[in-house]
Chain A
Amino acid sequence: MFTILAEHGSALLSGLGYTLAASLMALLGSLVIGTAFALFEISHRKWLRIIGRIYVEVVRNIPLLVIALGFYVIVPRYVMPMDGFTAGTIGLTIYTSAFIAETVRAGIESVAVGQMEGARSVGLTYTQAMVQIIFPQAIKIVVPPLGNQFINLVKNSSVLAFVAGFDLMYEGKIVANATFSTFDTYLAVGLLYLVLTMPLSYLMRYLEKHWVSA
Chain B
Amino acid sequence: MQSFFAAYTWDNLRYLLQGLWVTVEVSVVSILFSFILGTLLGVARYVKIKYFSAIVGFVIDLIRNLPLLLILFFTYFALPDIGIRLPVIPAAIVAMTVFESAMLAEIVRSGINAVPVGQMEAARSNGLSYTQAMTKIIMPQAFKKMIPPIVSQFISLVKDTSLATIILLPELTYHAQIIYGQNINYMIPMFVALAALYFIVNYALSIASRVIDRRMSRAPR
Q: B-contacting residues of A (Cβ < 8 Å)?
A: 57-58, 61-66, 69-70, 73-74, 77-78, 151, 154-159, 161-162, 169, 172-173, 176, 180-187, 189-190, 193-194, 197-198, 201-202
B173 x A73 contact (CB < 8 A)? no
Decide: B173 and A182 in contact? CB cutoff 8 A.
no
Q: Is the CB of B198 within 8 A of A74?
A: no
CB distance from A52 to the nearest CB of B (A): 16
> Are the CB atoms of A181 and B81 closer together than 8 Å?
yes
The answer on a CB contact under 8 Å between A66 and B67 is no
**Residue from B62, B163, B198 in contact with A194 in the complex, judged by beta carbons closer than 8 Å:** B62
B151 to chain A, nearest CB (A): 12
Interface size on B, residues (CB 8 A): 38
Min Cβ gap B45→A in Å is: 13
* Stretch binding the partner chain, chosen from B12-20, B121-129, B186-194: B186-194
Cα distance, A193 to B159, chains bound together (Å): 21
Residues of A within 8 A of B180 (CB): 73
Given the known interface contacts A173-B73, A182-B77, the answer about A74 and B65 at a Cβ–Cβ threshold of 8 Å is no
Closest chain A residue, CB of each to CB of B159: A63
Q: Decide yes or no whether B130 CB sits under 8 A from chain A.
A: no
Q: Which residues in chain B, 149-171, are within 8 Å of chain A measured between CB atoms?
A: 155, 159-160, 162-163, 165-166
Known: A63-B173, A193-B67, A201-B61. A186 touches B199 (CB 8 A): no
Determine if A74 and B191 form an interchain contact, defined as CB atoms under 8 angstroms apart.
Answer: yes
Which chain B residue lies CB-closest to A184? B81
Residues of A close to B219: CB separation below 8 A: none
Are B66 and A159 neighbours in the complex by a CB distance under 8 Å? no
> Considering the chains assembled together, what is the distance between the CA atoms of A10 and B173 in angstroms?
33
B78 within 8 A of A: yes
- In the complex, the chain A residue whose C-beta lies closest to that of B79 is A183
Give chain A nearest CB distance to B119 CB in angstroms. 22
Q: Mark B50-73, 1 if CB is under 8 A from A, else 0.
A: 000000000001101111111001
Q: A74-B191, A185-B78 are in contact. List 14 more A-B contacts (CB 8 A).
A: A57-B203, A61-B199, A61-B203, A62-B198, A62-B199, A154-B67, A155-B66, A156-B67, A169-B73, A172-B70, A189-B70, A193-B66, A193-B67, A202-B61
Please determine whether B163 and A159 come into contact, CB atoms closer than 8 angstroms: yes
Within 8 A of A (CB), among B65-113: 65-70, 73-74, 77-82
Do A63 and B65 have beta carbons less than 8 Å apart? no
Q: Give the chain B neighbours of A176 by CB distance below 8 A.
A: 73, 77-78
Chain A neighbourhood of B165, CB < 8 A: 65, 162
For the complex of A and B, the 10 pairs showing the least CB-CB separation, nearest first, are: A61-B202, A183-B81, A158-B67, A197-B65, A63-B159, A63-B162, A155-B67, A158-B69, A183-B78, A65-B162
Tell me, rounded to whole Å, the shortest Cβ–Cβ distance linking A169 to chain B.
6
Cβ 8 A contact of B78, one of A70, A73, A187: A187
Q: How far is the CA of A68 from the CA of B195 in the complex (A)?
A: 12
Cα(A190)–Cα(B68), bound, Å? 11
* Candidate in B67, B80, B202 with the most chain A CB atoms within 10 angstroms: B67
Residues of A within 8 A of B77 (CB): 176, 182, 186
Which residues of chain B have C-beta atoms less than 8 A from A201's C-beta? 61, 64-65
A-B contact pairs, 25 of them (CB 8 A): A58-B195, A61-B202, A62-B195, A62-B202, A63-B198, A65-B163, A73-B187, A74-B188, A78-B188, A154-B67, A155-B67, A159-B163, A162-B165, A173-B73, A176-B73, A182-B73, A184-B81, A186-B74, A187-B78, A189-B70, A193-B65, A197-B66, A198-B61, A198-B62, A201-B65
